[in-house]
Amino acid sequence: MTAAPGDQPRGDVSRETTAPPPAAAAVFGPALGQARAFAELLTGPGVERGLLGPRETARIWDRHLLNCAVLTDLIEPAARVIDVGSGAGLPGVVLAIRRPDLQMVLLEPLQRRADFLRETCAALALVNVEVLRARAEDVPAELPRADVVTARAVAPLDRLVGWCLPLLRPGGRLLALKGDQAAREVADAAATLRRLGTVDTSILQMGLDVLDEPTTVVTVTAGMSAAVRSEQRSGHRRQPGGGRGGART
């Protein structure tokens, strides 16, 4: 069992909740051991440090780990990925575990969450991850643009695209994990999507073969518009400074 430095998961919680279901072996393959170690960190230190709600421990695999892992089926090989508002590492750490070919940047503004992410990546020996403590609008200009930006339960889509699209290269994609209201959010964001010059938006159901409740993903493809360039220069990508925990919907 792997734990973050200075933390030990509570044995009863770990034994009862971190045993992977049969689908986990098919999804994670040779990385299943790392995935289970991450589950132990989330249900132990993650709960103790307020990054995951105690009620989420019983559904750590289906609602969180597997829910996030199927997102990698939409990401091309060796892609550069920025996870906005990474919180406890959902989905960013999960993506890094399942896909060691990815170049992951975990973007998290709160210090305690950023500390947990760094400790977790060290404990899991994830060498393809960089943790950056920053809000999306405060990302250093020299940070390379991403092929993919991911976000889970960060904000409604009409606000989320304004923060995330400037982080993407032209033709890059935002993959936003959403719930039952995905179609309504896309409709509400229509004007913003047009203004930002996006070239495609779709709603996909992922993990149909491994999840009882498939993961709903809104994909938005960035164009090269004057609106995006203007927002990059003016810094109008406003984002709350905190309030996004590890347990997401």
Residue 149 lies in a domain: yes
* Residue 232: per-residue pLDDT: 52
Burial letters for 172-200: b for 16+ Cβ neighbours within 10 Å, e otherwise? bbbbbbbeeebeebbeebeebbebbbbee
Residue 74 lies in a domain: yes
User: Which residues contact residue 62 at a Cβ distance below 8 angstroms, ignoring those fewer than 6 apart?
Assistant: 21, 211, 212, 213
* Residue 140: per-residue pLDDT: 85
Percent of the chain with pLDDT over 90: 77
Residue 41 lies in a domain: no
* Residue 224: per-residue pLDDT: 78
Reported pTM: 0.85
What single DSSP character describes residue 60?
A: I
Residue 186 lies in a domain: yes
Residue 40 lies in a domain: no
Cis previous bond, 91, omega within 30: yes
| Range 61-69 average pLDDT | 96
Residue 23 lies in a domain: no
* Residue 17: per-residue pLDDT: 57
* Residue 214: per-residue pLDDT: 95
Phi, psi of 161 (to 5 degrees): -65, -35
| Range 48-54 average pLDDT | 94
More confident residue, 12 or 78: 78
Sheet holding 129-132, edge to edge: 129-132, 103-107, 80-84, 146-152, 168-178, 215-221, 200-206
**36, 88, 175, 125: CA torsion to nearest 10:** -50
12: confidence class by pLDDT, cuts 50, 70, 90? very low
End-to-end CA distance of the chain: 27
Q: Tell me the per-residue pLDDT of 187-212, one tens digit each, with 9 for 90 and over.
A: 999 999 999 999 999 999 999 999 99
With 80 as the cut, is the pLDDT of residue 18 above it?
no
Name the token pair of 203: 């709603």
240: confidence class by pLDDT, cuts 50, 70, 90? very low
231: confidence class by pLDDT, cuts 50, 70, 90? low
With 80 as the cut, is the pLDDT of residue 15 above it?
no
| Range 211-234 average pLDDT | 75
Residue 245 lies in a domain: no
Residue 102 lies in a domain: yes
| Range 235-245 average pLDDT | 42
| Residue-number span of the structural domain to which 69 is assigned | 62-234
Q: Tell me the per-residue pLDDT of 34-43, one tens digit each, with 9 for 90 and over.
A: 999 999 999 9
Domain count, the chain: 1
Contact 85, 108 (CB under 8 A): yes
Q: Tell me the per-residue pLDDT of 133-147, one tens digit each, with 9 for 90 and over.
A: 999 888 888 889 999
What single DSSP character describes residue 178?
A: E
CATH number at residue 89: 3.40.50.150
With 70 as the cut, is the pLDDT of residue 71 above it?
yes
